[in-house]
Amino acid sequence: MKFKDAKSFVYPDGRLWLVGKDWDDQRFNLLKRSHGQCENIVKGQRCKYPCADPHHKILRSIERDDRLSNLLAVCRNCHWELDKKQREARRH
């Protein structure tokens, strides 16, 4: 895999650590995948708001993994709610 930023790399297990232009490109790919709509499922349906942020399914602070399979494009409200649930889960 060829990176634009010298600080980006692939872990031996395939996880990605993306920096700078590489992270920007991944965010673009995420936006393209989501068609600009939040990918979070709320009450059985996809959220109706436009996406604004990338959200890591597995916390970035726990396991840095910037692969698309670990990312959701979410609106700000869903991002806040998902982060809150992750923080609560870590406490228990």
pTM tops 0.85: yes
The tally of CA atoms less than 13 A away on the side-chain side of residue 90 is: 10
Write the pLDDT tens digit of every residue in 23-70: 999 999 999 999 999 999 999 999 999 999 999 999 888 888 999 999
Q: How confident is the model at residue 21 (pLDDT cuts 50, 70, 90)?
A: very high
What are the backbone angles phi and psi of residue 7, rounded to the nearest 5°?
-85, -15
Question: Where are the chain's structural domains?
Answer: 9-91
Note the pLDDT of residue 38: 97
What type of residue sits at position 62?
I
Strand, helix or coil for residue 16: strand
